[in-house]
Structure 1
Amino acid sequence: MKKILFAIGFLLVSTAELAAQSLSEIVNQKETILVDVRTPEEFAQGNVRNSINIPISELENNLSKLQGKKNIVVFCRAGIRAAKAEKLLKDKGIKNVHNGKTWENVKSLTKIALDNSVNYSSDKPHFNVLSDTEKVKQVAVSLGKNGVFKKHKTSTPASLVVLKGEIKFIINDQEIILKPNDYYDIPVDVEHELVGLSKENLFVVTKQK
C-alpha cells in the first residue's frame, strides 16, 4: 500500500513539474493567446507584450474570441482572478486553458531579446533592465560559472524566474538550487546571495516599487 501511495505521489509531483516546465514553451508559441484579466487601468500600468486585456467581469461575454484557440494563458495581478478565469473558461467548454498566475510571471517567461552586450561573467553579475514602470521594475541578471550576486536585501516584494542555467540561491543559511522555469518569491528585508552554477546563467527579477 505504501509503495502504491508513493508511486501516486511521485506521479503527481512529476506531472506538476512537467506542467511548470511546459508553460514557458506554451507562452512563447505564436498560436497562444495571452489573456490578461485585470482591469484596463491595471493593464495600462504594465502588461505582457502581445497580450489582450479582457477583464474577468467581461470574460463570459467574450468567449467567441477564445473558442477554438490552440492554447490560452490567463493571468492577473496576484493569481486569484486568473484561477477564476481558468475555471470559467473550462466550465464553458473551452479547452487548453492554462493558468499563468501573475502577469509578471508570464512576462518573465516570454523570450527576451537580449543584445550581444550580455556578459556571462564569473567576476560580477550583468544587469539588463527589461521594464521600468511606475509600479514594477524587471531586470534580467546574467552570471557566469561561479559568478556571485553578492549578499543584498530587497525593500519591496520581489520574485525571480530562472531562464537559463542553474542558480544556487542562499538565504537563511539554506542553499536552494533553482533551474530553468523555477520561480521563487524573495522575502522583504532578508539577506540573500546567488551563485551561478552553469557556464551561462540567466534569471529575471521582478520587483514591486
Structure 2
Amino acid sequence: MIINALIIIFLLWFLYQRFAPVKGIQQISTMELKAELKNKHKQFIDVRTPHEFRTKHIKGFRNIPLSELPAQTGQLSKDREVVVICQSGMRSMKASKLLKKQGFTSITNVKGGMNTWR
C-alpha cells in the first residue's frame, strides 16, 4: 500500500515537472508571434533539425537544433529576448528551460510550434 502511494506521488511529481509552466518562460501562440516578428530587438530561434527547418520555416528565425544549442548559446545575447519555436512546442520548451539554466532571463516559447503556424 505504501509502495503504491509512493509510485503515485512520484508519477504526479514527474508529470508536474514535465508539463507545468516554468517561471520566467513566457508562452505565446503563433497568432501572437506574427506581431512579434517585426521586433528587431528579439532573437528568433528554431530548434528543429536542419531538414525540418529547410522544409518549412518562418522568415527571421535562425536554425539552431536542440542538440547543438548547449554549445551555441554563446552566439546569443542574454540581454535580448529569445523566442523559441519547434514543430510542436515540446523541443522548444526543453530549449527554453536550457536557456533559463544558462542565465537567459527573457525567454518566450511558441506553444503549438510550426504545427499551428498558418
Shorter-chain TM range is 0.5 to 0.7
Q: Secondary structure at the match of 2:108?
A: strand
Q: Does 1:68 pair with 2:114?
A: no
Q: How has the CA–CA distance of structure 1 residues 83 and 20 changed in structure 2, closer, same or farther, with 3 Å as cutoff?
A: closer
User: Identity of aligned pairs, percent?
Assistant: 33
> What is the aligned partner in structure 1 of residue 22 from structure 2?
none
TM-score normalized with structure 2 length: 0.66
After superposition, the C-alpha distances for 1:97-135 in whole angstroms (9 at most, x for unaligned) are 100131354xx5xxxxxxxxxxxxxxxxxxxxxxxxxxx
Q: Does 1:32 pair with 2:42?
A: yes
Distance between the aligned counterparts of 2:80 and 2:36, measured in 1?
A: 10
- Out of 75, 89, 94, which is 1:84 matched to? 94
Q: Is the 8 A contact 1:26 1:71 kept in 2?
A: no
User: Unmatched 5+ residue regions in structure 2?
Assistant: 1-26
Q: Is the 8 A contact 1:71 1:98 kept in 2?
A: yes
Q: Give the number of the structure whose residues are more often strand, by fraction.
A: 1
Distance between the aligned counterparts of 1:30 and 1:68, measured in 2?
A: 15
After superposition, the C-alpha distances for 1:120-160 in whole angstroms (9 at most, x for unaligned) are xxxxxxxxxxxxxxxxxxxxxxxxxxxxxxxxxxxxxxxxx
Q: Give the number of the structure whose residues are more often helix, by fraction.
A: 2
For the aligned residue pairs, the C-alpha RMSD in angstroms reads 2.4
Corresponding letter in the other structure for 1:81: R
Distance between the aligned counterparts of 1:69 and 1:56, measured in 2?
A: 21
Shift of 1:96: 0.6
Shift of 1:68: 2.7
Shift of 1:20: 4.3
User: Unmatched 5+ residue regions in structure 1?
Assistant: 1-18, 109-205
Count of aligned positions: 90
Distance between the aligned counterparts of 1:81 and 1:56, measured in 2?
A: 7
Q: Is the 8 A contact 1:31 1:69 kept in 2?
A: no
Corresponding letter in the other structure for 1:36: D
Query: After TM superposition, where is structure 1 displaced by more than 6 Å over at least 4 residues in a row?
Result: none
Distance between the aligned counterparts of 2:62 and 2:87, measured in 1?
A: 14
- 1:53-64 alignment to 2 at 5 Å? 53-64=63-74
Distance between the aligned counterparts of 1:72 and 1:59, measured in 2?
A: 13
Q: Is the 8 A contact 2:45 2:85 kept in 1?
A: yes
Corresponding letter in the other structure for 2:88: A
Q: Does 1:42 pair with 2:71?
A: no
Corresponding letter in the other structure for 1:95: T
Q: Work out which structure has the larger RCO, using CA pairs closer than 8 Å and 6 or more positions apart in sequence.
A: 2
Distance between the aligned counterparts of 1:97 and 1:41, measured in 2?
A: 25
Distance between the aligned counterparts of 1:55 and 1:71, measured in 2?
A: 18
Q: Does 1:95 pair with 2:97?
A: no
Corresponding letter in the other structure for 2:41: E
Distance between the aligned counterparts of 1:104 and 1:48, measured in 2?
A: 12
